[in-house]
Every structure is written in structure tokens, then in C-alpha cells.
Amino acid sequence: MRFVRHRLCKMSFCYAASHIDCDGRTNILFAPDTPGPCYSFDSETFRQETVWEEPGGTMAMVPLPFGNGNFLAVQRFYPSFQAHEAEIVYVHRQHQEWKVDPFLKLPYVHRFDILQSSGVYYLLCSTLCTTKKNRDDWSSPGGLYAVELTEEITRPIILTQIAGGMTRNHGYRRVKNGDDIWALTSCDEGVFEVLPPAKRGGNWTVNNILDRPVSDIAVCDIDGDGVDEMATIEPFHGNTFTVYRKKASGYLPLYRYPGNSVFCHAVWGGHLRNETVFIGGYRAGNRELFLLRWKDGEIVADTLETHSGPSNVDVIHGEKRDLLVVANREVGEGVVFSVTDD
């Protein structure tokens, strides 16, 4: 693969990276975890628009499955876990301009997503904790909350708690199986498989599949054996990037990234052009962005860049090129790598 780097914007503390489809085109989104704007970029021309100027504090941005370019986003989740006022907002186009409306107040909401089962959509929200006395207070664990989601996006949202007791409930990854979409979440108590009801009105299923403190997660079948491997960052905001292989006895370590950096935060797994890869990144130390691939019966690492400090990454697939979208928080920039075949 060939990587060509494009810096799309300067943005202090650029944290969240995502994309949406709007008017038949794909737009790249960047937003900071501090007070600040959200920018949208056309994925072909890189033309920039401002979605909002403030308040920022954005942990996640998720496209809605209905509407044209509509999405939900976390706001008011600020550094050092100042997130009692955190909320999810509804972002949509009105008269060719972006409009941001209140949607759901949920203290300490860190990640969320829209899942699907048997044709029914569900909103899943993950809270880092319940309350905090200070930065180092983790005495009130977070949890998972869910509700069925319909196209009546402005109706009152009443969440149901489906799991609790999740300390430093930080990690999230969407998993797709055919038309169904479910989730993996991670916290000090481990990695949890989160399955929506098999039919409307049924119960959620939350299973612990890895019993160790995990900050962030991703999955993909990197070795091509038909079973997904799982990449983890351990422990919370930790230094260790590990890939696990699933065995009959559970998940066993297959690979550990050898870098000496600290504060690993970015992790992604999936297809990039003709390969299945994991992508990881550290926010301190060498601040590297790296790629793992399967070669000659083992995982090998390639460094894409250093001294950048990525917080989150996203991938947009295209016919002739893929785009690797990177929020380089520690140097304050939104970056895209155009990825083409050699």
C-alpha cells in the first residue's frame, strides 16, 4: 500500500474523527475534546465547512441510518473527565446550513452507537462513570444504556440501563454481521459482548469475553483463518497494545506491539485496500501511528508516522483509494492519508 498524507486543518486538541454520507458524497468530520468547532470536509475535494463553532467536548460522532447527512454527536465532555454536563446532540442540514439541536442529556456519556437487530435500530450509550469528586475518583462505575431508535428523532428519549458496575468504561467497537450490528465495550472489568434483542421487546445480552482491564478495543481477522482477532489497549489509557487470538479456552495473546511509547489511545481493525490490518496510535512518548499486518505467518508492524499523537482514527473505503482519517490531538491537526495499491 502507498500512503500520501494530507493535513486538512489545524484544530487545537483535535480528538474525534468520523465520516457521514451527505448529498451522495462522503464528508470527513473532525472535532476537539476541548471547547471548539466541528469541521466537515468533502472527501474528494477536501472543501471545508464549519458544522458548529462551540461547545466542543466531542468524544464521538455517529451517522444516523435515516436522513441525508444527519448525525448524533457527544458534546461537553471535556479533558480531565469534566463531563457532568455531557450530552448527545442531533446534527442535521436545514436550508443548506448545519443545525445542532438538543437530543439527550447523559452525564459522562463517552461513547455511543446505533445498533441493529432484525430490522430494528437501537441507541446504545456508554458512560465512563456515574459521577466524580475529582479526576482520580473512580468510585462510581459507568454503565450501558439503550433504547429503540426510530425516525422520530425529536421524540423524548427514555433510556434503560442494561449493564452497570463498569469502572473506567472507556472502550467501544461496532461489530457487523450481515445486516445486524452489535458491539464490544471495555473497562477495568474486561471486554463485554453487547447484543441487542433478537426481536423487538426482547432482552439485551451482555457477556464478559475477556476478564482483564482494557481501555480500548478493535477486531478483525488479521490472520485470515475465519475468526476475528481482538486488539486491545491495556490498561486504562495504557502502554500495552496486544492482539489476542480466540481459542476454545478463551482469548490468548498472539502479539504485543514492541514500541516504548506511552498513553496508547487509537485502535482500529478492518480492511485497508487489499489487506486486513490493525491500526494503533500513542498520544505520548514517540506519539507514533502504526499499522499491523499479517506476513509470512506472523504479525509485523509498520510505522506510518511519529510525533503526531493520534487520539482516534477512521477509515473510508473507496473504489480507487481508501482514506485513513486521523485526529492528531497532541499536535492539533486533522489529517487524512490517501491509501492506494502499490
For the four alpha carbons of 185, 265, 267 and 62, in that order, the dihedral sign comes to positive
Whole-angstrom distance, CA of residue 271 vs CA of residue 221: 9
- pLDDT recorded at residue 154: 81
CATH number at residue 77: 2.130.10.130
**Domains: count for the chain:** 1
pLDDT of residue 261: 84
> What's the confidence (pLDDT) of residue 311?
98
pTM for the structure as a whole: 0.96
Question: What is the arrangement of strands in the sheet containing 229-234, beginning at the earlier edge strand?
Answer: 216-220, 229-234, 240-247, 250-256
pLDDT, residue 257, reads 97
- Side-chain half-sphere CA neighbours of 45 within 13 A: 6
Round to whole Å and give the CA distance between 36 and 183. Answer: 29
pLDDT at residue number 324: 98
Q: What is the predicted pLDDT for the residue at 259?
A: 78
Which residues span the domain enclosing 89?
Answer: 2-340
Number of residues that this document lists for the chain: 342
CB 108 within 8 A of CB 83: yes
Give the pLDDT of residue 96: 86
Percent of the chain whose predicted confidence (pLDDT) is above 90 = 93
Residue 15 backbone dihedrals phi, psi, to 5 degrees: -120, -50
The stretches in the chain having pLDDT less than 70 are none
